[in-house]
Amino acid sequence: MSVEGTELEKSRTWLFDQDQNHRLLVKMTAELHGFPELLSIPRSFDELVRLGYDSRILDMVLYTLLHMKPVIITQIGDGYQWIGARTEQRDLHAFEMQRRWLRLEEVLMSGKPAGTLEPWFLDILTDTMRLSSLELMPSVVDFVKRHTSPHATGIDIGGSHGLFSKNMMIHGYDMTVLDLPFVVQKASKHSPELNFIGHNILEEPLTAFDQAYDFALMIRFVHMHGPIDIATIIENARPAMAPHAKWIVIDTVRGISPNADVFAINMGVNTPHGNTYSVADMERFSGLRCTHQELLPALGYAGLIFEN
């Protein structure tokens, strides 16, 4: 049997041989990836396939779960609760998942396969991420256009390959993508039409520019960070922002996004400090005031406007 076949078979059987907690994790993660709601906790891979789930996407989900260390999850009504302190093993898992995402970003930017990760895994995950971005794109563009002036200048914090900024430029916006230097080094080669800043905003503030930015854009970014980091990012971005700048957040938000509780568990397992937050949480962390909030049409994301 091939390595791929061995890994798939392990992921298809091992998780379902575990206790109910593991099967609940499968149910929760299936919901997170946009599958129909499961009325009961699944007991086998074949059961999920019979319910109409795409086996390729299921393989991606189960393979990822196979590498997770045990977590304690309870179902409370329609929501979930993650219990237990972080362990060194889970931190190591979070590091491994971050490595995978960074390699995925390289694939998204270059369109070339990454040889250090399983090709089948990257193939499925890349397709999923591209589809996710394409589905979210119209909602992002519409939301920004409704809440900013035409031809405004924006900085896309954590903008990675610049996919969203490219689309904003088509609509007349002057966009700059901010990300870590090694990400910008790769991204700028594939998107020379974009302005890039390679800078670790968690370590030092941005410097003031001749033309301050009218808005900051943070798409699927806040949930990757803890409260202290969020406060630091906002504070370190302030020198580059216009006095009346808007801070635009597109993310999974507690109290608005229906999958926020599920996604919080995913972040608790897969990132060192990530979580989902309510609007009140974000106001408290950032020192900003939320002036508008809404549930976007795509994928359960919320659109938020913050101002000083």
Q: Using one digit for the tens of pLDDT, what is the confidence trace for 192-245?
A: 888 999 999 999 999 876 669 999 999 999 998 999 999 999 999 999 999 999
Query: Which residues are registered as beta bridge partners of 246?
Result: 215, 307
Query: To the nearest whole percent, how much of the chain has pLDDT over 70?
Result: 61
What's the confidence (pLDDT) of residue 115? 46
State how far the Cα of 62 lies from the Cα of 17, in Å rounded to an integer. Answer: 13
- Asked whether the beta carbons of 264 and 82 are under 8 A apart, the reply is yes
Helix orientation angle between 3-14 and 55-66, rounded to the nearest 10 degrees: 80
Give the list of residues 6+ apart from residue 18 with CB closer than 8 angstroms, or none. Answer: none
State how far the Cα of 104 lies from the Cα of 96, in Å rounded to an integer. Answer: 12
Q: Using one digit for the tens of pLDDT, what is the confidence trace for 20-61?
A: 666 777 777 666 666 666 777 777 878 877 877 777 667 666
Largest CA distance in the chain: 62
Closest CA to 41 of 18, 63, 60, 7: 18
* Burial of 142 from C-beta contacts in 10 A (0-12 / 13-18 / 19+): middle
Q: Using one digit for the tens of pLDDT, what is the confidence trace for 118-140?
A: 555 555 555 555 556 667 888 99
What is the model's pTM? 0.70
- Asked whether the beta carbons of 223 and 273 are under 8 A apart, the reply is no
